Structure 1
Amino acid sequence: MAEITVMVVDDHPIWRTAVSRDLTESGFLVVAEADSVRTARARAMVEPTVVLMDMSLPDGSGTDATRAVLDVSPRSRVLVLSASSERADVLGAVKAGASGYLVKSASAAELVEAVVKTAAGQAVFTPGLAGLVLGEYRKLSVSKVRQSSAPTLTDRETEVLRLVAKGMSAKQIASRLVLSHRTVENHVQATLRKLQLANRVELTRYAIEQGLD
């Protein structure tokens, strides 16, 4: 975990310090803290692996800060950790580029697991919020041009993609479909190539946009 660097963005110093301490004790390297959109943008230049992002900041929203951070450090992955589970906050964060969304009622163990998964490129959501995001994107119309030009996936690739969108790991998918871990990874990589996507986060967003669940 020491290879996973983290920046904690929260305007409450006691909470920010406590989260940083817990992550450090769990083996992560906390390389920066920020209490505003402005400082988050400036300190993101250290290019943390994962950015823990609050949604309420004194000079803007977590959505604003997510965009600012990814503008400076596009390889970072943003995991929202917020007291809010409001629909607008969740969807705003995801549309801004956040990889996942946890509410602050999550346990320390759940937070550690979420940071590890986010660093690995998985989309992580508090139970219930993933369904909200999927439901919203299902409502978005997909243009006929996009549909006609979309690459054709095999039934198995589509099945694997649907499980990736639910946040399942390759090991979990392999168990569910009674396949080997290598076979699942091969399907994922083949799908990434066909769709010309870079990683699992982009793959998850694609699945959401296509209404896969």
Structure 2
Amino acid sequence: MANHSQFNFQDAASPIMEELIKFHDHALMVALAICSLVLYMLTLTLTGKLTSSTVDAQEIEVIWTILPAAVLIMLALPSLQILYMMDEVNEPILTLKAIGHQWYWTYEYTDLKDLTFDSYMTPTTDLPLGHYRLLEVDHRVVVPTEAPVRVIVTADDVLHSWAVPSLGVKTDAVPGRLNQTSFTASRPGVFYGQCSEICGANHSYMPIVVESVPLACFENWSSMMTP
């Protein structure tokens, strides 16, 4: 989860998030190289060291045509690769349906019989010592570690967005429409997110908590949750 005065991303907890962080670093280095080149040329011009003028320079025209194209390709290829990775849903072990309401989430484990619950934010007055204000919920989403999970996202009233940064997941919840995403939690842990679409007065009070546990623990939890 995010910490006070944090400048970097949250620790990646899924392969998709790891790729997103790598792409961010790659794009940042490309942008830094472009800015350095532009500043260098401006410095030469302002200091009078670049005084030559020419009417026809085919070599320069070729360079400033090919170089931007190469930069765009360097950014487009890894971006498209990640985009297709995020859209792939290959043989999920578990399918979870997340329904956004004002202002809570309903979860349905469609592969398990009668496993449905609402998830509300835990009020500050009821918060146990050491838990996180505005981030804890009364019922967490529990998923098995290292297992592909498909999430079907929709809404009951207005636009919402189901987002968990550590897992690299952010999917809009649209009334009357089913959107899907997937993730694979690469390690056990508790990962926090929030509704990321302004949805009314209490938009800030509908957090998301995903808990990744070993498969045996998940089976025990699901057996206790089903009647």
TM-score bracket, normalised by the shorter chain, equals: under 0.3
TM-score between both structures, scaled by the size of structure 1: 0.22
Query: Whose strand proportion is higher, 1 or 2?
Result: 2
Q: TM-score, length-normalised on structure 2?
A: 0.21
Larger radius of gyration: 2
